[in-house]
Amino acid sequence: MCFTPLVSISTAIIEFILATVLLLSFPNRILRNFSAILIYLLGFYQFTEFMLCVSNSPILWARVGIITYTLLPAIALHSTFKFVNKKPNYFVIYILPLIFEIIAFCSPIVTNATCQTFFVVVHSAFNQSNTSLNSFLSFMYMVYYFGFILANCLLFYVYLKSPKNKLKRKIGVVEISGVLLMTVPTVLLLIIFPFLGEVFPSMLCGFAVFVAVALFIAVYLETKINKRGI
């Protein structure tokens, strides 16, 4: 037994509780609904890491984990478009993750899955470059993942400059801060220690607890805006 299962299941429980509190404590609004979905997915991914470490089916749980976290950037971008009152192009948002989901579901994408001291290590076609096909898939997957995260930040940045209401500005700042606290440490670690590319999802979703907290704060601020009728 390694250290990872305790961290994973603890994080999953915290995120499940946080998402449930959102649904039970705040009114039915755009940010609340999407935020709850995102936090539940983050929690479920942490649960898949826990099961990968403690079950006899690590490859299966690694695949379920990939299917889970692949949806996150698309759902986040969808929610951002809705919040800033821009009509999203659903085909553009979901076509890439849908292709990756089909690949992950229908092919033996995972070649190895192990639970190490601090991280879960999963070797798959999305993070390996041992063949030309894997190199292409890995490149496209990173373009999708970090491209959508960047698009989220840009949308909120543009929105941040437009509304005069201070609470709306705070929501933009909180959302951008949460994304940066998740991605910047991950990217820096990947640059400093390239071998950490093997634990990219585990590391990214570990820092994603900052996003969960940011989403909770943003929903709280959105509720205050609604109460004031702004």
Listed by start position, the domains of the chain span: 4-225
Q: Which two tokens stand for residue 124?
A: 């798959």
Contact 36, 23 (CB under 8 A): yes
Both tokens assigned to 109: 């994408």
Asked if residue 198 has pLDDT above 70, the reply is no
Query: In this structure, are residues 169 and 156 in contact, taking their beta carbons and an 8 Å threshold?
Result: no
pTM recorded for the entire structure: 0.87
95-148: pLDDT as tens digits: 999 999 999 988 888 888 888 777 788 888 887 777 777 788 888 988 998 899
Quote helix, strand, coil % in the chain, to nearest 5.
80, 5, 15
Is pLDDT at 41 greater than 80 in this prediction? yes
Q: Where are the beta strands (DSSP E) in 57-155?
A: 110-115, 120-124
Confidence class of residue 1 from pLDDT cuts 50, 70 and 90? very low
- CATH architecture designation of domain 4-225: Up-down Bundle (1.20)
Distances from the Cα of 113 to the Cα of 116, 119, 120, 196, angstroms: 10, 11, 7, 14
Of the ranges 15-24, 105-114, 175-184, which one carries the lowest mean pLDDT score?
175-184
Residue 185: predicted pLDDT = 74
Percent of all residues in the chain with a pLDDT value above 90, rounded to a whole number:
29
- What pLDDT, on the 0 to 100 scale, is given for residue 19? 93
Task: Say which range, 38-42, 94-98, 115-119, 217-221, has the weakest mean pLDDT.
Answer: 115-119
For all residues of the chain together, what is the average pLDDT?
Answer: 83
Q: Which residues pair with 65 in a beta bridge?
A: none
First to last CA, the chain: 52
Q: Enumerate the β-bridge partners of residue 137.
A: none
Q: Which residues pair with 120 in a beta bridge?
A: 115
Torsion sign across C-alpha atoms 218, 221, 227, 230: negative
